[in-house]
Amino acid sequence: GENVEQHPSTLSVQEGDSAVIKCTYSDSASNYFPWYKQELGKRPQLIIDIRSNVGEKKDQRIAVTLNKTAKHFSLHITETQPEDSAVYFCAASKNYGGATNKLIFGTGTLLAVQP
Amino acid sequence: ETGVTQTPRHLVMGMTNKKSLKCEQHLGHNAMYWYKQSAKKPLELMFVYSLEERVENNSVPSRFSPECPNSSHLFLHLHTLQPEDSALYLCASSQAGGRSNEQFFGPGTRLTVL
């Protein structure tokens, strides 16, 4: 079945620096790649997603890139702020638009932004 | 209340107890999910209901029993659990077949099995 690997498990950056989190997936049929942010004690929330027919997507300070050939996708956060501190999860799915959206999650990255 | 709600938020139970977790979504969605979140592990999908029919069961032990009486409510019935079942149990919902695949999560139930 699908397997998603995520690196690094922890990431510490200075406020204002950029942060990059990388994921790889195993199933070439995967067609949807969301990123979720989970602040301490709170629920996961979608921050950005990308479909397999797009190579890059940007929303203000966050961007996601997808390399289908290498089966890699990455989250980029620029000009980091302390409120970006959280656990970030990548996920992959091959059920985009289908009856269910079965997401396979990575193990998460704890991002700490130092003021 | 809006979004996805879960009750109780915290639950402590013994291995011989029977309890139920409840999830309710107020988003008009037609697919609901149970996830287990343990420390240093990825979110594990336990059950998926779409259009009130169970379509996925990832070999979860029978001591976990889901119930979906309608598209807005989802239950997880628990009995004779083990200490390793202690975790955060998250419910989520989405619109099956819609343009957006976003899953909306509830706040979770923190379960401790003694």
**If you measure CA to CA, which chain A residue comes closest to B47?**
A102
pLDDT at B57 over 90: no
- pLDDT-derived band of residue A8, with 50, 70 and 90 as boundaries? very high
Q: Which of B4, B42, B101 sits opposite A101 (nearest CB)?
A: B101
Could you give the CA distance from residue A12 to residue A104 in angstroms, rounded to a whole number?
25
Pairing of strands A19-25, A4-7: antiparallel
Predicted pLDDT at A111: 98
Helix, strand or coil, per DSSP, at residue B85: helix
Q: Are B37 and A107 contacting, i.e. CB atoms less than 8 angstroms apart?
A: no
The beta-carbon neighbor of B55 closest among A6, A34, A100 is A100
Closest chain B residue to A108, measured at CA: B42
Nearest Cβ partner for A93 among B43, B51, B101: B101
Among A26, A43, A54, A110, most B C-beta atoms within 10 A, so best to mutate, is A43
Tokens of A65: 């890139």
Per-range mean pLDDT, top range of A97-101, B7-11, B48-52: B7-11
**Tens digits of residue pLDDT in B76-105:** 999 999 999 999 999 999 987 766 778 999
Cβ-defined contact of A44 to B107 (cutoff 8 Å): no
Instruction: Specify the pLDDT at position A23.
Output: 98
Residue A108 has pLDDT above 90, yes or no: yes
Rounded mean pLDDT, A21-25: 98
Q: Is B30 helix (H, G, I), strand (E, B) or coil?
A: coil
Residue whose token pair is 């990123």: A35
In which band, very low, low, confident or very high, does the pLDDT at B56 lie, cut at 50, 70 and 90?
A: confident
Q: Smallest CA–CA separation between B39 and chain A, in Å?
A: 9
Question: Is B90 within 8 Å of chain A by CB?
Answer: yes
